[in-house]
Amino acid sequence: MKKFSQKLIIFALMLGLTCSLISCGTLPKRSASSSSAIESTESTALPVPYSEPQTPRAVLDTPVSGASGAANQSQSGSNTSGSSGSRRSNSQPRKIKVCIDPGHYHGASELTGEDLYDYEEAYATLQIGQELARILKEDYGIECYLTRTGDSISINGYTDDQIDQQNIALRGKYAADADLFVSLHTNANGENANGQPQMSQPIAINKPIIIANTNACGSPEVINMCNAIGTNIAKVYNEVGLATVDYFNEADPNNIVDWSESLNDGLNIAGTVCKRVDSSGDFYGVLRGAADVGVPGIIIEHGFHTVPEFRYSAMYGNLLKMLAEADAEGIAKYAGF
């Protein structure tokens, strides 16, 4: 999450910016004169050139069969019948359709430089999203589609920054044909949080935080799904050494806490499910868009890319695949598997 001046927040809200730019893990752009990243959402910021990392990005690059993106949703069809998923239960799971939203788009933010490991949130969320779609379809026969399947996102004639800076609710509204909207992100903290540079945070800050929209908060089943996803992610971090707290603080569906900076940036505290609303409804545009079309929506802030070890594990290890598995098992549980 980011710290902004009140003025910037108001300005951003006027532009319809939401979690992707205001507070949920937009990657700061790297200063040309320093290896440390700086925050910038100003329109004058120079685009950061894309640079391919040396060796990573091979883990999840296989195409997703059967999962469609915004550009070809009409071809998605039903995947819920005839599939021979390996994790089918003998019970009768509910048929649900999931709209998966890999946060951001390529080129919006990227990190290059020593110990930044070329981490790009847009890349990470796409890898998680594609793997999540593959698991849901192939292992559980759950129908799903993505808001983007490539570097770019296009909805209703709008593309990339036209969406994220002016019409970001379109991402959530794209779930109109779904039963569930899941927006995938990695998190960031404020500058100098915990007395450390923004991009050099300790592992103790790392935790999953799931933000539920008003529709999701009205459904104990969805909140329990969030609890399952968060618990799964916390287990992953405990397993790979990216956590100091080994559990997820499961939410009471009847008492969802508000998002807070102390929750986001605090050290040695468990992640949880929270909500964030203001006088106009859901604070984050993606969640507001889903609410506008009557769909329960959640943002999964998987963990903190401001932790160097997180970036390394994401870009050079199997972390993204493990996070996708954690998400998938929680969603499958929600569907009755």
Nearer to Zn ion, 20 or 231 (CB): 20
CB of 337 to Zn ion, least distance (A): 28
CB of 38 to Zn ion, least distance (A): 17
Nearer to Zn ion, 20 or 76 (CB): 20
Q: Which of residues 69-108 bind Zn ion (CB under 5 A)?
A: 103
Distance CA 80, CA 96 (A): 9
Identified binder of Zn ion from the candidate list 185, 275, 305, 311, rule CB under 5 A: 185
CB of 20 to Zn ion, least distance (A): 5
Nearer to Zn ion, 103 or 296 (CB): 103
Nearer to Zn ion, 152 or 238 (CB): 152
CB of 27 to Zn ion, least distance (A): 8
Asked if residue 129 binds Zn ion (CB under 5 A), the reply is no
Dihedral (Cα; 328, 301, 208, 199), 10-degree rounding: 130
Stretch that binds Zn ion, among 19-27, 36-44, 222-230, 313-321 (CB under 5 A): 19-27
Identified binder of Zn ion from the candidate list 18, 23, 25, 96, rule CB under 5 A: 25
Identified binder of Zn ion from the candidate list 1, 21, 22, 24, rule CB under 5 A: 24
Counting every residue written for the chain, the total comes to 337
CB of 89 to Zn ion, least distance (A): 33
Contacting positions for Zn ion (CB under 5 A): 20, 24-25, 103, 185
